Copies of this chain bind each other. A is one copy, B any other.
């Protein structure tokens, strides 16, 4: 049996998870590798047997985030507004079912936003969806009449920031439920 290799992989995963928790709750810069090691009951030295450096560990998480947070591919929707409902519903559902998802989501946000993120990591993080991602759908919805008037970029931005704000809290404090997807969608819906 590959007990040895499997074991190693399992341990790597433990570290990854611990790091994710800490990076999200304290921020990358403020988490010490000893914090991480401690959380998985491992000597600090050993952690470096699994990961070359704190930064590489971060990079790996960001790469995971890049793949893991491939957002719900919109099914074919009849109306533009349905896209938003579907998108939000699925995203919230993922976050509820897999706490890790919500955390990865927040990790990515920090990696993208913070000036302190090492440049090459930031680049990776920036490959995921951006603020402009919803613009074309919003334009379509405005013609249709299902989405409110206004600069599509500004609407897209507002919607995305709202989602991020919600995810940011939910990732570290699950005491309060996520809102209904519809509520959030009302941010873009024509009244």
> Which A positions have Cβ atoms within 8 angstroms of B?
25-31, 110, 113-116, 131, 148, 150-151, 153-155, 157-158, 161-166, 168-169, 172, 176-180, 183-184, 186-189, 191
Whole-angstrom CA separation of A77 from B15 in the bound complex: 52
Contact A153 B165 (CB under 8 A): no
Q: A116-B27, A161-B162 in contact; A154/B179 too (CB < 8 A)?
A: yes
Report B-chain residues with C-beta under 8 Å of the C-beta of A29: 26-27, 29-30
Q: Are B177 and A166 in contact (CB under 8 A)?
A: no
User: Which of A115, A155, A187 neighbours the largest number of chain B CB atoms within 10 Å of its CB?
Assistant: A115
- Give this chain's copy count: 2
Q: Which residues of B contact A180 (CB under 8 A)?
A: 150
- In angstroms, Cα B151 to Cα A187, docked, is 19
**What's the nearest-Cβ distance from chain B to residue A6, in Å?**
32
Residue on B nearest A169 in the bound complex, by CB: B161
With A27-B116, A116-B30, A191-B186 already in contact, the answer to whether A155 and B179 are too (CB < 8 A) is yes
Contact B157 A176 (CB under 8 A): yes
Bound state CA distance, A97 and B113, in angstroms?
23
Q: B183–A150 contact, CB under 8 A?
A: yes
Contact between A162 and B187 (Cβ–Cβ < 8 Å)? yes
Whether B176 pairs with A131 at a CB distance below 8 angstroms is yes
**Do A161 and B155 form a contact, CB below 8 Å, given A25-B115, A114-B27?**
no
Distance from A121 Cβ to chain B, minimum over Cβ atoms (Å): 13
Chain B nearest CB from A109 CB (Å) reads: 9
Residues of chain B contacted by A191 (CB below 8 angstroms): 186, 191
A96 to chain B, nearest CB (A): 13
